[in-house]
């Protein structure tokens, strides 16, 4: 996917925004929503799911990616994340690594509730990544 058309970006952002409403974030009070687009044209949504033992928390992006992968839909083209932030929210380091697992050309759409968006390639967010090629 060379560039993301506006309609697809909006679809991902709106899906992620709805998923954010299902976030389980009683500890951080920082709900996040995500959406994953695959080559089959399907979108998988996700939200952050926290746990009293904080290391067990799953970010919204990983929830959505794991939903797609567990359905056998591994051709990930784009990942969108949204939160109520001043500037478009950026995926955490662990999520960057998990996104990179599924391709170097994946587009990451960062968004906030104000309607700001920024689209970057995963390799721009995680340059010089450790991948299966290094093993």
Stretch near ligand THU under the rule CB under 6 A, chosen from 10-18, 52-60, 115-123, 124-132: 52-60
Q: Taking the complex as a whole, how short is the minimal distance between the CB of residue 121 and ligand THU, in angstroms?
A: 17
d(CA 123, CA 87): 20
**What does the chain look like in DSSP terms, one character per residue?**
--S--HHHHHHHHHHHHHHHTT-B-TTT----EEEEEETTS-EEEEE-B--SSGGG-B-HHHHHHHHHHHTT---EEEEEEEES-SSPPPPPHHHHHHHHHT-SS-EEEEEETTS-EEEEEHHHHSTT---GGG-
Residue among 14, 61, 71, 118 flagged as catalytic: 61
28 is a site residue for ligand THU (CB under 6 A):
yes
Stretch near ligand THU under the rule CB under 6 A, chosen from 26-34, 35-43, 99-107, 113-121: 26-34
Residues 53-112 that bind ligand THU (CB under 6 A): 57, 59-61, 81, 89, 91-92, 95
CA distances from 109 to 27, 42, 122, 134 (A): 26, 16, 10, 27
Nearer to ligand THU, 61 or 76 (CB): 61
113 is a site residue for ligand THU (CB under 6 A):
no
Catalytic site includes residue 61: yes
Q: Taking the complex as a whole, how short is the minimal distance between the CB of residue 41 and ligand THU, in angstroms?
A: 25
Question: Which residues form the interface with ligand THU (CB under 6 A)?
Answer: 25, 28, 30, 32, 48, 50, 57, 59-61, 81, 89, 91-92, 95
């Amino acid at each position: 996917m060379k560039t993301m058309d506006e309609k697809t970006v909006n679809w991902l952002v709106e899906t992620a925004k709805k998923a954010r409403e299902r976030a389980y974030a009683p500890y951080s009070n920082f709900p996040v929503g995500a959406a994953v687009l695959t080559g089959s044209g399907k979108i998988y949504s996700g939200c952050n799911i926290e746990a009293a033992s904080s290391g067990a928390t799953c970010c919204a992006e990983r929830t959505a990616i794991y939903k797609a992968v567990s359905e056998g839909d591994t051709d990930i083209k784009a990942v969108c994340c949204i939160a109520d932030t001043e500037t478009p929210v950026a995926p955490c380091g662990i999520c960057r690594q998990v996104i990179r697992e599924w391709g170097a050309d994946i587009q990451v759409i960062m968004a906030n509730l104000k309607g700001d968006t920024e689209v970057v390639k995963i390799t721009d967010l995680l340059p010089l990544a450790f991948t299966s090629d290094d093993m």
